[in-house]
Amino acid sequence: MSDPNLTPNPSPNPDFPVSQEAQTPLETPAPSVFAAPIVAPEIAPQNLSAAAHISSSPPFIEPIAPEPIHAGSATNPLLAMLAGAVLACVLLGSGILIGRAGSPNNGVMTASPLGNGVSAQSGNAIVRAVAMVGPAVMNVDTTFGKPEASDFLPTPGQGQNAPRAGKGTGFVIDSKNGYMLTNAHVVAGAQKIQVTTRDGEQYTGIVTGFDRRTDIAVVQLSNRKLPQAKLATFKNAKELPIGDWAIAIGNPFAQENTVTVGVLSAVGRTLPVPESGRGEAFQLTDMMQTDAAINPGNSGGPLCNLNGEVIGINTAIIPFGQGLGFSIPINKAKFVADQIIKNGKVLHPYIGVAVVPITDAIKSDYGLPDKLGALVQGVEPNSPAAKSGLQQGDVIRKLNDQSMKSNSDVVKTIGDKKVGDVLKIEILRNNSVKKTLTLKVGDRPN
């Protein structure tokens, strides 16, 4: 990952408004700063403070903390890592040259060639789609300050104070104003940004703004006449057909203008990003899953359909996995980018409550009729939740008359709201007393 401010710190942060589901960390050693898991142990009523926290976010996310890929499932936890800009440095203690957001590279992994199942017609469509999107795709080179000794060893042949260079991808979304879309972890904190077109022309870029919670950044380029990508229009990624072709274009391992092909494998995935020590844990929600090869350096690049329309931004991969890449839906990315361009910041829905899943132990000790809903672990003082009368120990059963099956449902429902929306909360208090509370969704404090 190109962001020098992102380092692992698995301790929970009590400032987060919503807590993640209990889960077990993967036993595989963490390959990079974004491979370190944040886990919440099995929650019992007497030890609720042990739960790791994450926060809700806009209709798509705020960035990450481990949770199963299926929101609502406490099994098969995934350890997510951002695909990230390639950084030439050695991971402390590993002795392996990898990208900051990459996984150990024991050899160059190539995308599987198109097999007999690909017809000439679909193959030609892929060529046409790449021809449409390709001119708008930029290779992104970033320069950062000196590395922090606590995170990485210096690059061989460079001194401790040598600047670091990173690589990622972006694509132009507004030719007239020179706006390029990419991941926040590609450009956040960069001292210098240079982009290169597929024809080899180079231009400078200045960060207009970025939002870590959604991992979206907008960069303004010095050239205001570059081709812009066509963005697909949809309100929800669930509208996209699963199994449809997906084309990734990017700069993996500094291999410029690389095209890989797969399918849209799934939508609605939830990925965790560990706490950074100087930042916080968060989760990316509603992510699209693809088996098109995505590697370090692909971050910020487009995922396209056969019509040559961008459907997502390539952002994350599962360490040691194959065919497990994740992209931010373009409708959410555009929503965030528009806020950054217009307001210079992004509003994140917030109510100020930490919730945990209803385990068998909690169900028994609290005398609950079932395991549906989420137990309120804590309420932030002076938050919308506190002002509504919500209390620790309450069980959230419904939000706006919609039943909540788990704490993941609560997180997602809040994340789908807009700041200023009115939220009706149906709770169980003292095991059986039903109450309905009303609050106005606020903007999450910095």
Encode burial over 260-284: b for 16+ CB neighbours within 10 A, e otherwise: bbbbbbbbbbbbbbbbbbebbbbbb
SS3 425: strand
How far from chain centre, in Å, is Cα 183?
9
Largest CA distance in the chain: 68
Strand partners, 356: 375
Strand partners, 166: 87, 142
- Burial bucket for residue 428 (CB in 10 Å: 0-12, 13-18, 19+): buried
- Residues serving a catalytic function are 185, 215, 299
CB 247 within 8 A of CB 304: yes
Query: Residue with structure tokens 């994350």?
Result: 316
Distances (CA, A) of 53 to 251, 257, 297, 431: 34, 39, 29, 24
CB 287 within 8 A of CB 270: yes
- Residue 144 is given by DSSP the state E
Q: From CA 361, how far away is CA 237, in angstroms rounded?
A: 36
189 Cβ neighbours under 8 A, 6+ residues apart: 2, 3, 4, 5, 144, 145
CB 103 within 8 A of CB 295: no
